[in-house]
Amino acid sequence: MSELTKEVGDLKEMVMLSLMEKESATQRLKAVSLTSEMDQASDKVTNALFVALNKDENVNVRLAALEALKPYVSKSTVRLKLIESIEEQASPLVQVALAELMVTMQEKRSVDQLRQLLKDERVPKEVKYKISESIKVLI
């Protein structure tokens, strides 16, 4: 039985990674949602989620990837990559979502990255306000 469970998990992982390569944002969203059906995400899966979070052109895919990574924030590597992802984001929605996640995780190491967003002229004023509020909570 455990052998079959492992095979099903491996198959889900293979399907997820394959769907992440698709041109359609809908297919990539399906790929991200598949991770919620996995008991444990391998490094390949979390790496694919970080690629989606940092590089996907669709904001909904990036937000879904961030949501899919939340169950793994207890891993130090995931936490560090999330902090590094802050500077990769151009979308105000993703910037705010990451700032909120940093507060939820009480991740004080993210303060420098968040402060960099405050210096960025492309970041909307409302987003800067939300980020500065997050920084206050973290400090």
> The whole model's pTM is what?
0.86
pLDDT of the residue at 44: 86
Degrees, nearest 5: CA angle 77-81-14: 80
pLDDT given for residue 106 in this prediction = 95
pLDDT at 9: 72
- Check: CB of residue 24 under 8 Å from CB of residue 2: no
How many Å apart are CA 83 and CA 76, to the nearest integer? 11
Q: Looking at residue 42, what is its pLDDT?
A: 80
Q: Residue 73 has what DSSP assignment?
A: T
pLDDT at 10: 73
Q: What tokens were used for 133?
A: 């509020």
E strands of 15-130, at which residues? none
Splitting the chain (139 residues) into consecutive groups of 10 residues, what average pLDDT does each group show? 74 77 86 80 87 94 95 93 95 96 95 94 93 94
Whether the Cβ atoms of residue 29 and residue 64 lie closer than 8 Å to each other:
yes
Report the largest interatomic distance among the alpha carbons of the chain, rounded to a whole angstrom: 56
Domain boundaries in the chain? 1-72, 73-139
